[in-house]
Amino acid sequence: MDVLVLDSIAKAYGPVKALKGVSLSVPRGTVYGILGPNGSGKTTLLSIILDVLAADNGNYSWFGNPGSKEQRKQIGSLLETPNFYHYLSAVNNLKITQSISGRGSLDEIHEVLKTVNLYERRNSRFSSYSLGMKQRLAIAAALLGSPKVLVLDEPTNGLDPVGIAEIRELIKLLSEKGTTIIIASHLLDEVEKVCTHVAILKTGNLIAQGTVEEVLADEDVLEIAASDLDELTRLLSAYEGIGSLERGGHILLVKGPKGSLDPAAINAYCQYAGISVHHLAMRKKRLEARFFELTSN
Ligand code: ATP
């Protein structure tokens, strides 16, 4: 069952077409990354599904129904860092958030602070927190009311590697507890590490979507090396089913359609022709390479 379905969502700011008819579905229980370079429309998309902005065209539905106030309560979100009071503690800040938003209950505050690993520091002033802790407090605020879905815009922006790792762990934990998580990000590495699904946006168009595995692995890339690379190149050029051959330093990159390259068979072929292969490895094309390939003109 899909948690969120977008059908041909379009939005323009005057002459700027920020979204040009985007359709996608977010399956329940996934960590869904919306990836795109700056200005590709990620924030606009999240603002529309959170009812902060109205779309010019198209529809979207949460849990099979058009957006409503009641449904919005099942969605926790973090579009921009909330304004917490610097001189107040985490607990007191969340009390204020809770009373303004009406989400969740005061009893829940300790619970969400435990979830984001800030319970020990719950009585410290917000101003004494690191950036990563501040961001985790913002996520704690979004978790009030036990939302089924969490929508996060660039949740690791500005954080150091430790802060990034903490957010990643938190996302994994929340996902394991059954929360569906939608994340907009331009950090490919982060998306690759934490997301199960990915949609790639480019200047307002959706250019790929699916599981990270599907979007990632569109072709086989085999690294192969022998002492005489010229001879190996000549030999493999005659091998059926190879899409292309590329020299990369002291190795040869053999590319072919997904599932077309069998390393064992290629090794045997080389052996038979008298070339002994000293390196042979299937390379999983990194999302980053794929992303640049998809988004470059
Ligand atoms: P970033 O990662 O830089 O935030 P993004 O992928 O979130 O980018 P959006 O912020 O949704 O992209 O912007 C999409 C396009 O719409 C951009 O060209 C942007 O300049 C433009 N845009 C966004 N908000 C406005 C606005 N309020 N008025 C005019 N143009 C806007």
pLDDT in tens, 116-141: 999 999 999 999 999 999 999 999 99
What are the b/e assignments for 168-190, b being 16+ CB within 10 Å?
Answer: eebbeebbeeebbbbbbbbbbeb
Phi, psi torsion values for 159, nearest 5 degrees: -90, 155
- Do the Cβ atoms of 93 and 85 come closer than 8 Å? yes
Residue located via tokens 């990632």? 216
Residues 221 and 202 in one domain: no
Ligand 1 atom at minimum distance from 19 CA: 14
> Of 194, 215, 236, which residue is a domain's last?
215
Residue of 20, 22, 34, 38 to mutate, ligand 1, most atoms within 8 A of C-beta: 38
- Do the Cβ atoms of 113 and 39 come closer than 8 Å? no
- Cα 39 to middle of ligand 1, angstroms: 5
- Cα 20 to middle of ligand 1, angstroms: 13
Q: Which residues neighbour 150 within 8 Å (Cβ) at sequence distance 6 or greater?
A: 75, 76, 77, 78, 139, 142, 143, 174, 179, 180, 181, 182
CATH of the domain at 261: 3.30.70.980
Residues 201 and 225 in one domain: no
**Residues 38-62 pLDDT 10s:** 889 999 999 999 988 999 999 999 9
User: C-alpha angle with apex 114: 87 to 84, nearest 5 degrees?
Assistant: 25
Task: Report the nearest-CA residue for atom 1 of ligand 1.
Answer: 38
Number of domains in the chain: 2
pTM over 0.85: no
Task: Report the nearest-CA residue for atom 10 of ligand 1.
Answer: 43
Chain length of the chain: 297
Separation of alpha carbons 77 and 98, rounded Å: 14
Residues 121 and 205 in one domain: yes
Burial of 288 (0-12, 13-18, 19+ CB in 10 A): middle
Q: Which domain holds residue 275?
A: 217-295
**Residues 103-122 pLDDT 10s:** 888 889 999 999 999 999 99
Residue located via tokens 């008819």? 21
User: C-alpha angle with apex 57: 52 to 59, nearest 5 degrees?
Assistant: 70
Q: Which residues line ligand 1 (CB under 6 A)?
A: 13, 16, 18, 36, 38-44, 186
